């Protein structure tokens, strides 16, 4: 196994002040120095443009879309985007 799943969240009261980016940078840094993990993966709601942009700026690349993969409490289906970052040797 050489891939790890990444999931993250910041309390609404603390969003927008740079914590998310710092947490993400730290997770990437840790995984780069962690022997055996070469790839970080995540899924993010397609409508979550703020988070998608944050991941892209950190180097994550969109690899595909899971169409209508999440069913919301209101019955609506939403797409999820698969993103990944290579953290192993090039
Ligand atoms: C997505 C999330 C983790 C980001 O954490 P955060 O602490 O709010 O983000 P930051 O303050 O570090 O900002 C990250 C980037 O988004 C930008 N940003 C912050 N708040 C923003 C907003 N309301 N609208 C647009 N951009 C915003 C910042 O400018 C920053 O960009 P930069 O790196 O170019 O400076 C957080 O909003 C969250 O927990 N959301 C709910 C759960 C979620 O969506 N998790 C991710 C699912 S995969």
Asked if residue 12 has pLDDT above 90, the reply is yes
Render pLDDT for 13-71 as a digit per residue (tens, 0 to 9): 999 999 999 999 999 999 999 989 999 999 999 999 999 999 999 999 999 999 999 99
Extract the tokens encoding 76: 């609506």
Model confidence at 1, pLDDT cuts 50, 70, 90, reads confident
CATH of 3-86, one of 3.30.360.10, 3.30.1330.10, 3.40.50.20, 3.40.630.30: 3.40.630.30
Say yes or no to pLDDT of 80 above 90.
yes
The Cα 18–Cα 82 span in angstroms is: 23
Domain boundaries defined on the chain: 3-86
Pocket test for ligand 1, best of 22, 27, 54 (most atoms within 8 A of CB): 54
∠ CA(19), CA(47), CA(14), 5° rounding?
20
Q: Are strands 3-5 and 39-45 parallel, antiparallel or unpaired?
A: parallel
The ligand 1 site (C-beta within 6 Å) comprises 8-10, 15-21, 42, 44, 48, 50-51, 54, 57
């Amino acid at each position: 196994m050489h891939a790890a799943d990444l999931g993250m969240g910041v309390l609404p009261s603390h969003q927008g002040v740079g914590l998310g980016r710092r947490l993400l940078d730290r997770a990437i840094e840790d995984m780069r120095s962690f022997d055996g993990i070469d790839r970080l993966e995540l899924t993010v709601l397609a409508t979550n443009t703020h988070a998608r942009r944050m991941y892209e700026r950190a180097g994550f690349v969109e690899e595909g879309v899971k169409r209508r993969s999440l069913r919301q409490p209101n019955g609506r289906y939403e797409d999820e985007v698969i993103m990944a970052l290579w953290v192993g040797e090039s």
